Amino acid sequence: MPDTRTHRGPHPSDRKLFAPESLTKLREAMDDFCWLLTRGYGSDGALRLVGDHFQLAERQRTALRRGGCSALAAERRRSRRVELEDLTNQRVGIDGFNCLITVEAALSGGVVLRGVDGSHRDLASVHGTYRHVSETETALRYLCATLTAVRPRAVTWYLDSPVSNSGRLATLMRSRFEVEGLAWDVELVKNADRSLQEARAVAASSDGWVMDASEGWLDLAGITLLRSVPDAWVVDLGSPHMKHAIETGNGQ
């Protein structure tokens, strides 16, 4: 059946799976998942062990995978995070789908995860096709407002060209930037992650590989939610134990 959704909202089971009474178990599971990653376990094996032990649903396991990492990776990413006020006169490269979909999800009431590395991620994903939803233009406008507040020197949005409808989104973005008088670029590339790595710019992305490989990263989606969608459904799965390990450097 064709995808006829007009919102990127929550899954029907999310209210139960990410209810306040479920968070204690999820944070304990995240703690164990990150502990295993820190000690060299592969992500798939670690997730299977933890997910089975805590009897997690598939959506909860996805949340662990998307929000978790080793303590060393979290510590390194936190140390290389670039704050919004530090962007003036800097070059910024944006993972377009990554940032846009997270804000779209938040605007439609979907879950947004705050990972143990401090970045914000959604539970939605692009599987070869991007669908314009009711919140798309508002999300884009909010993201633009976040960046224009600090006047970066240059901004380039990267969209994965293999994703269906990426060309239409690029056209929408260019029209928005023209209306707002922004001399920003939109590039359709085969691999946005790789282009961000090679851009020699601050990378606005919550993709772990991009965050690790770039010169510095910006939590553009998270900052935008704080500024423009303060009532977003943000689920923080970082346990106090994990946060302490990252802050003290004792997670290695």
What does the pLDDT read at residue 214? 83
Entry pTM: 0.91
User: Are 103 and 221 contained in the same domain?
Assistant: yes
User: Does 5 reside within a domain?
Assistant: no
User: Are 112 and 227 contained in the same domain?
Assistant: yes
Cβ neighbours of 84 (radius 10 Å)? 18
Domain tally, the chain? 2
User: Are 102 and 223 contained in the same domain?
Assistant: yes
Convert the pLDDT of each residue in 101-132 to its tens digit: 999 999 999 999 999 999 999 997 666 789 88
User: Are 129 and 203 contained in the same domain?
Assistant: yes
Which CATH number is 100's domain given? 3.40.50
pLDDT at 248 exceeding the cut of 90? no
> What residues make up the domain containing 214?
81-236
Tell which wins on pLDDT, 10 or 7: 10
Convert the pLDDT of each residue in 202-232 to its tens digit: 999 999 999 998 879 999 999 999 999 999 9
Using the structure block, give the residue that is written with the tokens 């204690």: 24
Convert the pLDDT of each residue in 132-161 to its tens digit: 899 999 999 999 999 999 989 999 999 999
pLDDT band at residue 10, thresholds of 50, 70 and 90?
confident
DSSP per-residue string spanning 88-150 = BT-EEEEEHHHHHHHHHHHHTT--EEE-TTS-EEES---SSB----TTHHHHHHHHHHHHHTT
User: Does 2 reside within a domain?
Assistant: no
User: Are 102 and 113 contained in the same domain?
Assistant: yes
User: Does 173 reside within a domain?
Assistant: yes
User: Does 8 reside within a domain?
Assistant: no
Contact 217, 209 (CB under 8 A): no
User: Are 39 and 130 contained in the same domain?
Assistant: no
Tokens coding 164: 């269906």
User: Are 180 and 228 contained in the same domain?
Assistant: yes
pLDDT at 1 exceeding the cut of 80? no
